[in-house]
Chain A
């Protein structure tokens, strides 16, 4: 029985290779995207410490943690379903 290697599969079907490139780009993009909510959390922490914003920025902190969770889920989802 003849086995088809992924490389020969891509060469036979260039469309498949294109989608692989798109998949890699999507996953890299989402991994880089994870940096954004982490940066936001760091900024909020700094403002809490320097200017005492912790007295009124609880909703913002909650939204940022939820945002980080959704970004992580999106990254994992892209890894699984693409």
Chain B
């Protein structure tokens, strides 16, 4: 019996994935996000993955909210410090300036007006932050802004109109606290949707990329 001089090696069959990222990774990411970002919404929530109970007016029955974002809480620091300064002005003014010529009742109402104006300023800035939200569903992105109390701006774009997603984290504070902008370029009438100063911008962009890939 002749022995084989050359035996062809058996070909190893390697599994091929049609999508660039195996599904296992997606599942890990999802559980990580749900765990670390939370699903419950409260007044100061800045980032929530698949938030529970939130439901908007023209939401379709098969539409699921994937992401809820707001600017990082620290973005309120500037106006907050200004409000503290404004609140401290009257006590110092009464110590260093002579208001003896002003009747007591006028002094009292003047002080009341000053603090009402300070509160109005603080409240207006807080509301601008509170209502500056982005909601991402499995079908579209909704961007809500109120630049001031008299103006309301709600824009939305379908996910299939997305052309490019970029993240930007610039500056000491943003790098230190891990927040930044996520810009979504679209092919629609609205050229760009900006997720302003959101926490974890890389992960937010990852979620958007995942949704975009699925379409």
Q: Could you tell me which A residues sit within 8 Å of B by CB distance?
A: 19, 22-23, 26, 29-30, 33, 36, 39-40, 43, 46-47, 49-52, 55-60, 63, 67, 70-71, 74, 77-78, 81-82
Q: Given A26, A40, A59, which contacts B113 in the complex, CB threshold below 8 Å?
A: A26
Q: Which of A36, A56, A63, A81 contacts B109 (CB 8 A)?
A: A81
User: Quick check: B106 and A19 within 8 Å, CB to CB?
Assistant: yes
Known: A43-B131, A55-B41, A55-B54. 10 other contacts (CB 8 A): A22-B106, A26-B109, A33-B116, A50-B57, A51-B56, A51-B133, A70-B116, A74-B113, A77-B112, A78-B109
Q: Which residues 139-190 of B have a CB within 8 angstroms of A? A: 142, 144, 146, 149-150, 152, 154
Given contacts A40-B127, A47-B131, A49-B57, contact A82 B105 (CB under 8 A): yes
User: Residues of B contacting A55 with CB < 8 Å?
Assistant: 41, 53-55
Q: Could you say which residues of chain A place their CB within 8 Å of the CB of B108?
A: 81
Residues in A with CB closer than 8 Å to B103 are 19
A47, A57, A67, A82 pick with most chain B CB within 10 angstroms: A47
Cβ of B116 and Cβ of A52 under 8 Å apart?
no
Q: B149 touching A36 by the CB < 8 A rule?
A: yes
- Chain A residue nearest to B120 in the complex (CB): A36
Select B144's contact among A51, A56, A59, A74, beta carbons within 8 Å. A51
Indicate if the CB atoms of B113 and A43 lie closer than 8 Å.
Answer: no
> How many A-B contacts at CB < 8 Å in the complex?
78
B residues bordering A, Cβ < 8 Å? 41-43, 45, 53-57, 103, 105-106, 108-110, 112-113, 116, 119-120, 123, 127, 130-131, 133, 135, 142, 144, 146, 149-150, 152, 154
What are 7 A-B pairs with beta-carbon distances under 8 A?
A40-B149, A43-B127, A43-B152, A56-B45, A59-B43, A60-B130, A78-B109
User: Which residues from chain B contact A52 at a C-beta distance below 8 Å?
Assistant: 54-57
Contact between chains at A60 and B43 (CB < 8 Å): yes
Q: Point out the residues of chain A lying under 8 angstroms from B135, CB to CB.
A: 51
B123 and A40 within 8 A (CB): yes
With both beta carbons as reference points, the residue of chain B lying nearest to A81 in the complex is identified as B105
* B53 surroundings in chain A (CB, below 8 A): 55
Instruction: Tell me the complex Cα distance, A64–B57, Å.
Output: 23
B41 touches A56 (CB 8 A): yes
Partner of B112, one of A50, A63, A74: A74
